[in-house]
Amino acid sequence: MSSPVKAPVWPVLAGVILCSGMLGAIVAVEDQRLIVAMLLGFAAIWFAARRWGAVAALERSAEQHPGAVGGAILVAALAGIALLHEDNFGFLMISTVLLFASCCIGLTIQLGYAGVSNFGAAGFVGAGAYTAAVLNWLPWMPDLLALIGGGVAAVLVGSLLLLPVLRTRGHYAALTTLAFGIMFGVFLDATPIVGGPQGLKLSGVNLFGWDFSNDIRLGSFLISFYANYVLLSLAIFGVAIFVASRLDRSWVGIWLDTVRLDETACAVFGVNIGFWKILAFTAGNFLAGLAGATYAKMLGFIAPNNFTLSDSLMLVSVVILGGIGNRWGALPATAILVLLPEKLQFIQEYRLLIFAVLVVIILMASPAGLVPRRTRRLDPHLIIGNVGWLTRLVPHARSVPSPQRGEG
Amino acid sequence: MDIVAQHLLNGLMQGTMYGLVAMGFTLFFGVMDVIKFSHGDVLTFGAFAALVAALLAQSGGMGVWVQILAMFAAAVVATALIGTEIARFFVLPLRHSPTLNILLLTMMLGTVIRECLRLFYPNGGNPQRFPALLPAGGINFGRAFVRYDGLILLAVGLALIALVHWVITRTRFGLAVRAVAEDEETARMMGMNFRRVVRLTFALGSATAGVAGVMYGLYYSEINYGMGVLLAIIGFSAAIVGGLGNLWGAIIGGYLFAGLQTLAVALAPAATEYKTFFAFLVVIVVITWRPTGLLAEARSERV
């Protein structure tokens, strides 16, 4: 199926150039007043673009030219690395943004697509990070396995919560993951074998002999070793976007929507609610764990207070701030969250306050977020393998008492 | 034997506090079907208001009982005001938006309150000493030593639970609350002022939390800006385990949670750090077993 009007490719290119230019400028500039002026300018550009349909045009174009999006982002990233070449801190921030955004895309699959609430996301990120740290004790363990192991560990931890998540709804389901997040923090703090409150140290990534801790030399041109992590984070972000867009644009996305919007109607049409909830929950946790493991490897040090309740809330806020159900929204929202307090030192102390006020304003004034979700361009031929038989693994949901009256 | 009595009293005290917090959650849920997560930080705000009132009364040279009275009055007024204004400006306008949005909105409002206390209260980032106003000392029950302040606070807490219960079940206002909780539309058609009932309910629930905050301060003689976070989650769990919207459920849930924590401490004194872990684990198991709480309404929907 193709839509009647073929969108041109130039909005993608213009959009990527503009966005990466803004990101790079924020990272590179140090003068506080200039940063504030730039931010105001970017906000104006953003609202103008939204007002006059440029964002919508960009999204339309992006959805029809996925290859162009990927290529343009890769070129922009390489150009950015070449320009910022020795800015360690800048690279660190960009990687952090990309990893946080990947994790938020996982949350988007859970909250935005399937409507499975997850208020313990930091716990899953932490499960990935601590797995990477523990696997670091085994000298023969290849780092690729350690990173994937982080994702798998988050999935395994999440599978312990499957039964409560499937049986409860609404606020009751929110409590399950909330309680898990608290339990995870208490456990880390109280268990000396994983370092207790002091946390654990890790070594950097080494993929197939490519040591991420070495600076890159191209002739006499020196690039900080953090650029390796930018590329790795970009790859993970790419995987996250790819998975989310495959899920969303195939029939699976429609099923997930029905599960979120009306479980009764869903069951009437024979959709296996339990299976799709498990799928979304698992996919989201895997992304969170993978991002967590990579983050831990990049920082070289993790402690329980990196994975607290307020971090979980932060991640959910990013999803809402970006626009719930819109996978691309995670990127500008995390950029605001991570970059602003780092670049504007004078708000450092007030950042949580400012962030909370910002989220309150967004929720009151424009609950759809920065990049509201648009109607998908369905691709019925897009098949993620034939997953039909998998649904038989999960029995259909039986009668579940309704937790609250009149919940829409 | 004496150690059992100690644990029992401590558990009762904590259970009363958790129950008071949980009652707020269940009241808000009853009238509006929303969870107001800023509840814990409203509690903290009440405790800080009480601290300021006590310090002011102290510098004014008032007697101890006046100070105590000023404390409770300040906490009740401050929390009732902030609770009803949150309902008016934030929860009522958004009550038709998705559950997630309201949950997040109130969490962020709580963060705003918490951060304001941390940043703008003098030296707010550090724990604040709470004046020990209640009579020191205690009496021996057999071999168990019972502090007077603990007994007084327990009595205050139980009296408050009884009072809220009386208000909800025996007064005209309580009837209105129950009517709105049962069926908002019919209640409105009967001429009830829905917004007013909601705002008063939020005032009542928040004031309950304010008293719980003062109890916390007097019992532990220290308060800090972040103390409401865990209390809110525990109160929320207690309300959920009991069954949202059910006053008795909240009280039972509160004592259950405190009982679990106390049990964990009593059974494994070497691993007291895990008591909250254990209690939340049991909470998850309980709501898996009874997905709508222990005292849930028996409504079922076939899916």
């493991």: which residue's tokens?
A: A293
Residue type, A264: T
SS3 of residue A43 by DSSP: helix
Q: Looking at CA atoms only, how far is residue B254 from chain A in angstroms?
A: 15
The answer to whether residue B35 scores a pLDDT higher than 80 is: yes
Residue type, B215: M
Residue of chain A with shortest Cα separation from B302: A399
User: For residue A386, what pLDDT is reported?
Assistant: 57
Ramachandran class of B210: left when φ > 0, alpha when ψ lies in -120 to 50, beta otherwise: alpha
For the record, the structure tokens of B282 come out as: 């049991």
Contacts of B103 in chain A (CB under 8 A): 171, 174
For the record, the structure tokens of B300 come out as: 């079922």
User: For residue B303, what pLDDT is reported?
Assistant: 40
For the record, the structure tokens of A384 come out as: 């993620």
Find out whether B112 and A357 touch, Cβ atoms under 8 Å.
yes
Q: What is the DSSP letter of A5?
A: S
Given pLDDT bands bounded at 50, 70 and 90, which one contains residue A291? very high
Mean of pLDDT values over B225-239: 91
A317 vs B97, B108, B276: nearest CB = B108
Distance, CA of B123 to CA of B225 (rounded, Å): 10
What sign has the CA pseudo-torsion B245, B249, B254, B256? negative
Given pLDDT bands bounded at 50, 70 and 90, which one contains residue A283? very high
The two beta strands, B300-301 and A221-223, are unpaired
Max CA pair span of chain A: 69
Q: What residues 91-120 of chain A have any CB closer than 8 A to a CB of chain B?
A: 111, 117
The answer to whether residue B198 scores a pLDDT higher than 70 is: yes
SS3 of residue A326 by DSSP: coil
Q: Rg for chain A (alpha carbons), in Å?
A: 21
Spatial CA neighbour of B236 closest among B80, B26, B32, B83: B26
Q: How far is CA B226 from CA A168, B43, B44, B119, in A?
A: 29, 10, 8, 12
Which of B109, B230, B288 is most worth mutating to test chain A (most A CB atoms within 10 A of its CB)? B288
Mean of pLDDT values over A311-319: 87
Whether chain B has a CB inside 8 Å of the CB on A407: the answer is yes
The answer to whether residue A367 scores a pLDDT higher than 90 is: no
Q: Looking at CA atoms only, how far is residue B42 from chain A in angstroms?
A: 16
SS3 readout for chain B: CHHHHHHHHHHHHHHHHHHHHHHHHHHHHHHHCCCCCCHHHHHHHHHHHHHHHHHHHHHCCCCHHHHHHHHHHHHHHHHHHHHHHHHHHHHCCCCCCCHHHHHHHHHHHHHHHHHHHHHHCCCCCCCEECCCCCCCCEEEECCEEEEHHHHHHHHHHHHHHHHHHHHHHHCHHHHHHHHHHHCHHHHHHCCCCHHHHHHHHHHHHHHHHHHHHHHHHHHHCEECCCHHHHHHHHHHHHHHHHCCCCHHHHHHHHHHHHHHHHHHHHHCHHHHHHHHHHHHHHHHHHHHHCCCCCCCCCCEECC
Spatial CA neighbour of A151 closest among A264, A297, A254, A269: A297
The answer to whether residue A402 scores a pLDDT higher than 60 is: no
Q: What is the overall mean pLDDT for chain A? A: 81
Q: Do B299 and A168 touch (CB under 8 A)?
A: no
Spatial CA neighbour of B212 closest among A186, B220, A182: B220
pTM as predicted: 0.87
SS3 of residue A127 by DSSP: helix
A189 vs B105, B273, B300: nearest CB = B273
Given pLDDT bands bounded at 50, 70 and 90, which one contains residue A219? low
| First vs last C-alpha separation in chain A | 33
Find out whether A224 and A87 touch, Cβ atoms under 8 Å.
yes
User: For residue A28, what pLDDT is reported?
Assistant: 76
Distance, CA of A234 to CA of A96 (rounded, Å): 10
- List, in order, residues 6 or more apart from A395 with CB less than 8 Å away: A274
Mean of pLDDT values over B224-237: 91
Distance, CA of B243 to CA of B236 (rounded, Å): 10
The answer to whether residue A333 scores a pLDDT higher than 60 is: yes
Find out whether A259 and A115 touch, Cβ atoms under 8 Å.
yes
Given pLDDT bands bounded at 50, 70 and 90, which one contains residue A382? low
Given pLDDT bands bounded at 50, 70 and 90, which one contains residue A394? low
Spatial CA neighbour of B204 closest among B233, B163, B154, B152: B163
For the record, the structure tokens of A100 come out as: 């946080």
Q: Do B236 and A175 touch (CB under 8 A)?
A: yes
- List, in order, residues 6 or more apart from A327 with CB less than 8 Å away: A105, A108, A112, A240, A241, A244, A245, A248
Contacts of A263 in chain B (CB under 8 A): 303
User: For residue A389, what pLDDT is reported?
Assistant: 61
Distance, CA of A333 to CA of A350 (rounded, Å): 18
Q: Looking at CA atoms only, how far is residue B85 from chain A in angstroms?
A: 15
Task: Encode pLDDT of B40-91 as tens digits.
Answer: 999 999 999 999 999 998 888 878 888 889 999 999 999 999 999 999 999 8
How distant is the alpha carbon of residue B302 from its chain centre?
A: 34
Residue of chain A with shortest Cα separation from B93: A364
Residue of chain A with shortest Cα separation from B280: A179
Q: How far is CA A408 from CA A231, A255, A271, A274, B189, in A?
A: 43, 18, 19, 19, 22
Which residues are A210's β-sheet partners? Answer: A207
Contacts of A267 in chain B (CB under 8 A): 303
Which of A89-93, A308-312, A388-392 shows the lowest per-residue confidence on average (mean pLDDT)? Answer: A388-392
A403 vs B90, B105, B291: nearest CB = B291
SS3 of residue A71 by DSSP: helix
Distance, CA of B255 to CA of A178 (rounded, Å): 20
User: For residue A406, what pLDDT is reported?
Assistant: 40
Q: Looking at CA atoms only, how far is residue A92 from chain B in angstroms?
A: 27
Long-range contacts of B161-169 (CB under 8 A, 24+ apart): B161/B16, B161/B19, B161/B20, B161/B23, B161/B251, B164/B23, B164/B27, B164/B204, B164/B208, B164/B247, B165/B247, B167/B204, B168/B27, B168/B247
Q: What's the complex ipTM? A: 0.86
Distance, CA of A294 to CA of A288 (rounded, Å): 10
Task: Encode pLDDT of A59-109 as tens digits.
Answer: 777 777 777 788 888 888 788 777 777 777 888 888 899 999 999 999 999
Find out whether A228 and A94 touch, Cβ atoms under 8 Å.
no
Q: Do B116 and A353 touch (CB under 8 A)?
A: yes
A168 vs B94, B287, B298: nearest CB = B287
Give percent of chain A with pLDDT exceeding 70: 89
Q: Do B90 and A364 touch (CB under 8 A)?
A: yes
Task: Encode pLDDT of A347-363 as tens digits.
Answer: 778 888 888 888 888 88
Distance, CA of A117 to CA of A174 (rounded, Å): 6
Would you mind telling me the total number of residues written for chain A in this entry? 408
Q: How far is CA A40 from CA A25, A347, A369, in A?
A: 13, 16, 18
User: For residue A404, what pLDDT is reported?
Assistant: 45
Contacts of A363 in chain B (CB under 8 A): 94, 97, 101, 104-105, 108
Q: Do A190 and B271 touch (CB under 8 A)?
A: yes
Mean of pLDDT values over A13-20: 81
Q: What residues 16-75 of chain A have any CB closer than 8 A to a CB of chain B?
A: none
């008293």: which residue's tokens?
A: B211
Find out whether B222 and B129 touch, Cβ atoms under 8 Å.
yes
Contacts of A405 in chain B (CB under 8 A): 33, 297, 299
Q: Looking at CA atoms only, how far is residue B284 from chain A in angstroms?
A: 6
Q: What residues 352-371 of chain A have any CB closer than 8 A to a CB of chain B?
A: 352-353, 355-357, 359-360, 363-364, 367
The answer to whether residue A390 scores a pLDDT higher than 80 is: no
